[in-house]
């Protein structure tokens, strides 16, 4: 049972946001400080370019910052890459790895995702590791097996349970407005919870987020089930109003 874990509400801005959009992070910061997310931990993951300024604005506030990817190397001749150490230096405390848009669009393998997760941990970041099946895999009855294989091959070796977060994000639910049923979510989260508890000492303390088309209107249905320890939110995290309407489930 993991329902006493502190929920985590993480916003993934993807490749969206310019300096002017930090006004949304300012609004999230003031609303969270005023109790809009209850006891939930709130993290925003803007693009790399906004991290330093976002961190300056969020310093001393309850809102944490994360990045959306990192290199496996700490530094060196890797043109265009950003290391986990650099993210930490810029003020991030979280990094997302293995998002399906990186697995599909950049050909990231489970082994690479595992190495990126290890890099995030090495740098002192908390890691949000994304897993999820495609529509074809679900239709073929392979959703659990697909996610189990991803977990097996991309979970970093050494990770304190408190520093690792799993995000179950069915690929077909991301940005589509289509969501699994609460029963489907319960089945997958319960399965992941059992796997984590079997595989790791303290696995029952690893938070498992749901991600994929979470909106204010469906948040209560999707996020209140057993072993759903928070959400990874894409589109609906770009505007403070919408993101905080989702956070209301934790008040
Ligand atoms: C995501 O990309 O992590 C995500 C969950 O996106 P959306 O909420 O827009 O479906």
Q: CA 151 to CA 159: how far, in whole Å?
A: 14
Q: What are the residue numbers of the active site?
A: 99, 169
Contact present, 228 and 181 (Cβ < 8 Å)? no
Domains located in the chain, CATH noted: 8-250 (3.20.20.70)
Q: Is 64 helix (H, G, I), strand (E, B) or coil?
A: strand
1 falls in which pLDDT band (50, 70, 90)? very low
How many whole angstroms from 37 Cα to the centroid of ligand 1?
A: 19
Q: Ligand 1 pocket check: which of 235, 242, 246 to mutate, most ligand atoms within 8 Å of Cβ?
A: 235
> The pTM is what?
0.98
The pLDDT of 175-193, averaged and rounded, is 98
pLDDT score at 158? 83
Percent of the chain with pLDDT over 90: 97
The answer, yes or no, to whether residue 173 has pLDDT greater than 80, is yes
Measured between its terminal Cα atoms, the distance across the chain in Å is 21
Q: Which atom of ligand 1 is found nearest the CA of 231?
A: 5
2 falls in which pLDDT band (50, 70, 90)? low
Question: What is the total residue count of the chain?
Answer: 251
Q: Which residue has the tokens 């057993």?
A: 226
């Amino acid at each position: 049972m993991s329902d006493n874990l502190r929920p985590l509400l993480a916003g993934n801005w993807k490749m969206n946001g310019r300096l002017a959009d930090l006004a949304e992070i300012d609004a999230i910061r003031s609303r969270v400080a005023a109790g809009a997310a209850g006891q939930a931990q709130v993290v925003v993951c803007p693009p790399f370019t906004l991290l330093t300024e976002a961190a300056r604005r969020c310093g001393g506030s309850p809102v944490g910052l994360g990045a959306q990817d990192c290199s496996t190397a700490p530094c060196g001749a890797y043109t265009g890459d950003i290391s986990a150490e650099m993210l930490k230096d810029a003020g991030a405390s979280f990094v997302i790895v293995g998002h399906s848009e990186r697995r599909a669009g950049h050909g990231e393998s489970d082994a690479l995702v595992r190495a990126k997760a290890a890099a995030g941990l090495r740098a002192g970041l908390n890691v949000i590791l994304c897993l999820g099946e495609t529509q074809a895999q679900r239709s073929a009855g392979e959703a659990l097996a697909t996610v189990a294989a991803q977990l097996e091959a991309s979970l970093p070796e050494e990770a304190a349970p408190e520093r690792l977060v799993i995000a179950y994000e069915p690929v077909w639910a991301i940005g589509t407005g289509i969501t699994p049923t609460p029963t489907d979510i319960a089945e997958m989260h319960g399965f992941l919870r059992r796997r984590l508890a079997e595989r790791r000492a303290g696995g029952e303390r690893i938070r498992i987020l749901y991600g994929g088309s979470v909106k204010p209107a469906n948040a209560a249905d999707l996020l209140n089930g057993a072993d759903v320890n928070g959400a990874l939110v894409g589109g609906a995290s770009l505007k403070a109003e919408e993101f905080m309407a989702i956070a209301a489930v934790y008040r």
